[in-house]
Amino acid sequence: MFKRSLALVLVYVCLVPCATAQSDQKRARETAKIRDKIIKCANKRPYPFSELKLRNGTKLAGNIYSPTDYKFTVEEIPSHRLEEIRYENVSSVWCGDFTARMNRRALLLPLLFLGIYVAVKAAL
């Protein structure tokens, strides 16, 4: 019984640090990918608009400025509040052109009204 318990303890002591080291390496790779994407996003002009999802579950939308090796600054829209965020706190990032996005939305609204109008006409 003692040998079996000792063997289980030794296996646990050997495997747990390996598993945590692998998860740390995986998180470091994910952080590096996010950092590269944010730096690429910040270099877009004229407006580096992005939507960020943080690891704590909150979402931010705004412009990215001054990325460094460890953190970057986001100007939140519509409050225009500046917030510094570390790369490891970001779980996902989406970068896009704000004006193109608003133009797509502006196109969808008339199409929606046209669809409603056609549906009402067909029902009468």
The full set of domain ranges for the chain reads: 2-96
Cα torsion angle, 45, 93, 82, 32, sign: negative
CATH of domain 2-96: 2.30.30.100
pLDDT by residue for the chain (124 residues), tens only, comes to: 656 665 555 555 555 555 455 677 888 888 888 888 888 888 776 666 788 899 898 898 888 888 888 888 888 888 888 888 898 889 888 887 655 666 666 777 788 888 898 989 888 8
How far apart CA 121 and CA 41 sit, in angstroms, is 46
Burial class (CB in 10 A: 0-12, 13-18, 19+), 38: buried
